[in-house]
Every structure is written in C-alpha cells, then in structure tokens.
Structure 1
C-alpha cells in the first residue's frame, strides 16, 4: 500500500475501462489539450470507478510517435509485417488491425529489443524515446498525421 503514486490508468487494464476512450488512434492533439479533456471526463463520468482511489489529476502524455530501426513509415500500409512494441491493449488491437505484429514488453526492455532486432520499432512519445535512449537506435520517426497514433492517460 502507498499513500501517493504517479501512474497511468492504463497500467491497470480493465480497472478503468471508461478511460480507454483516450487511447483511440488519432484522437489526441496535444498533451495539454488531451490532459484537460481526460481530467474533465474522469471527474465528471468516472467517480464510481475511482472508489477507493483519490486522483489529484488525470493527465495524458503528448501523442505517441512511431519509431523504427529500419522501415520508414509514410502511411498505415507501411506497418504491415512489422513487429512493434505496443503500450496498451487498445494499441495492440489497432496495430494488429493494420497488419503489424503487436508486441508487449516493459519499457526498460525496449532499447535492447530494438537493437537486437526482436522488434522493428515501437510507439512512444518523442520525449520519452529520447529519455529511454531509443533515438540512438531507431533511425526513423514519424511526425505526420499518422504519427498521432495514441496517448496514455
């Protein structure tokens, strides 16, 4: 038990299913705007789900980008056949529908997995990819509309 924690609602799958609306592809615009919408939604519509949990704030990170070691992603078709680390069950489904092989793994395993070719790439906000060292390994990064593939709350 802890007195206070900073975490993501999506780290406890199925515990806060209402919040999965904010995982939908192409929905996020900025971290700030999505955070404001997620916080308002949670405080207005999720009080029953928060029984026993007392959130100070609900937030979302900036929209996730696609980072790949080799393949350049210009359209959704370019995802076909790629093994990509996905951050949530919603993104696992979405990437699978686009023909990619969604791979779940903890964040600390990502740099080694991409450098060894276990995965071809991943979805992650640009600033998180930099902090994790992925920018030193992945050569391609999407910045087009296709790059706003998800956010986490």
Structure 2
C-alpha cells in the first residue's frame, strides 16, 4: 500500500480534519476533539477534569470507553485509535501559580473544556491557536497557556514562560483521534485490511507511549531554560478539585439537554474514574514512567 503523507495544515487544517476525512479529502486524518468543540460530545467525557497521572493512563481509559460505549460521535468514520496528550499543566510568564487564588486575573490559552476548567479555577480562558501562543505570551496578550510539558520544547514555550504548575490531579487531557474514511477502509483488499488492522493495533500502543516520552524532553528543555516547576500542596489540590466540580456538573446538564439521561451520563463518568484508577495501578505495577503524576511513577522512584 502506498501512503502519501501531508504534514499538518498542508492538506487540511486541524479544525477541518474530521469533515475532511468524512468527505474524502483525506483518507486518514489526525486531530483532537477540542478543535471542533461540541462535535464529539460523548467523547468529551475524556476531557473532563477527572485527574489523569499520564497520557498512558488517559489513553487506555479513553480507548476502553470507546470500546465499551461505541459513541455515536464516530458513526461516520472508521476509528483507528484514540489517544490523549499528557496531563496539562499551567505555564505562566510573570506570575507563578502556587495556589488557587493566583489564577485570578490571568488570561490562559485553553480551548474547549480546558477553557471551562481555567474559568472554573478563576482564570480567563483564551482560544488562541497553538502556532500563535508563543507570540501572544511574549507580547503580553495572554499570561500563559494550559498544555503539557512537551510544548515547552516543541513550541519553545520555555523561552517565554517562567513557571510551570503541575495540576495533573484535576487535569483534563486533550483527546486525539486517528480516523479513516469509511469507503477508503471498505475498499481495502481483505489481505491488506488484515495487515492494516494488525499494524494499527501495534502503533496505537506506540503512539500512547510516545506521548509519555515527549514530556520528559519538554521538561528537560524547561529546566535548561530556567523554568520553575511547581507542585501543588495537598491543601491546594483539594481546593482545585472543588473548584472544577461545576465543570463536571455542567457537562452532565448539557448532555441531559441533548437527550441523554442523567444516569447514563453519570455512568460514563463513573466508568472513566474506574478506568483511571485501574490503569494508574497498572502504570505503577508495570513501572511505566511519566513526567507528571504521583511520586510512584516518577523516574527517580522507578530507578530505586
């Protein structure tokens, strides 16, 4: 099979990716659900501030959810796999976030549900496109951004921010999807389809582990550039958790308004919480390191 690869934005922009795959502009496309906020409402449960220690845990939980509930969000495409970014932190340029009150008055780049979380924490969300964030921070248009350690390196944010606060306990990762046009998949010969399906399974796990590894590179670059990494105290974690509960409540209300039952939506959330706990225990038991998360998954603990 010959595959023609187009870099991001060359064939389709991220916001146009989903419809572009449905319409056959691209056979396969990769993007995340917040670029079309509200378009995949069931899957957005994975973006609620439930607290994820790593991309590995978040992605495993998201794939379990997709397999279990088969969201109608994806009825028009062939889902190859789902993965997520690593836990989002809060990067700021001038004012450190050490307690909940520190977010008051700060404008933080955060789209979709991530923006709802920032607002609940007392900040002002801005839907600034990622390629524009560096300049927006350097010029003082925004005070920082909410994303993972990886962006400190890939987008050079470590050059314009001074502080990185880890908030994995209430974080909401960015759910990503790799989808294929249904007709393009159906036209594959049976033998090629079998090889394709096998490789998708293999590379799904590679993709999930990749997100864990890139955070280490981003954090190292941040340290090199003098970024201060901040961990919240236990008291502050409790305050942050209480502050974001309305985001979860509002999601439930919004989905009920769309015609789902309250019990059904709360069942999705309970399932995700259970899967987070399950996969966190597996991450610790299998000694899979991550740059964020509880002490048990930090590299310094795993090498003992």
The alignment's TM-score, normalised by the length of structure 2, stands at 0.47
1:27–1:144 distance in 2 versus 1, CA, 3 Å: closer
Structure-2 separation of matches of 1:50 and 1:26: 23
Match of 2:137 in 1: 114
Aligned-residue Cα RMSD (Å) equals 1.6
Match of 1:27 in 2: 51
Highest relative contact order (Cα 8 Å, sep 6+), 1 or 2? 1
Q: What is the CA distance between 1:145 and its match in structure 2?
A: 5.1
Structure-2 separation of matches of 1:123 and 1:63: 10
Q: Does 1:48 align with 2:72?
A: yes
1:83–1:144 distance in 2 versus 1, CA, 3 Å: closer
Structure-2 separation of matches of 1:103 and 1:144: 19
Match of 1:38 among 57, 62, 76: 62
Q: Secondary structure at the match of 2:42?
A: helix
Match of 1:150 in 2: 172
Contact residue 18 and residue 46 of structure 1 kept, 8 A: no
**Unpaired segments of 5 or more residues in structure 2?**
1-24, 176-304
Match of 2:159 in 1: 136
Structure-2 separation of matches of 1:4 and 1:145: 31
1:3–1:21 distance in 2 versus 1, CA, 3 Å: same
1:18–1:82 distance in 2 versus 1, CA, 3 Å: same
Structure-1 separation of matches of 2:72 and 2:43: 13
Match of 2:91 in 1: 67
Match of 1:58 among 64, 79, 82: 82
Indicate the structure with greater helix content: 2
Instruction: Please tell me whether Structure 1 or Structure 2 has the larger radius of gyration of its CA atoms.
Output: 2
Q: Secondary structure at the match of 1:130?
A: helix
Q: Secondary structure at the match of 2:145?
A: strand
Structure-2 separation of matches of 1:47 and 1:149: 23
Structure 1 window deviating more from structure 2 (2-11 vs 132-141): it is 2-11
Match of 2:107 in 1: 83
The alignment's TM-score, normalised by the length of structure 1, stands at 0.91
Structure-2 separation of matches of 1:23 and 1:75: 23
Contact residue 87 and residue 123 of structure 1 kept, 8 A: no
1:40–1:26 distance in 2 versus 1, CA, 3 Å: closer
Contact residue 29 and residue 63 of structure 1 kept, 8 A: yes
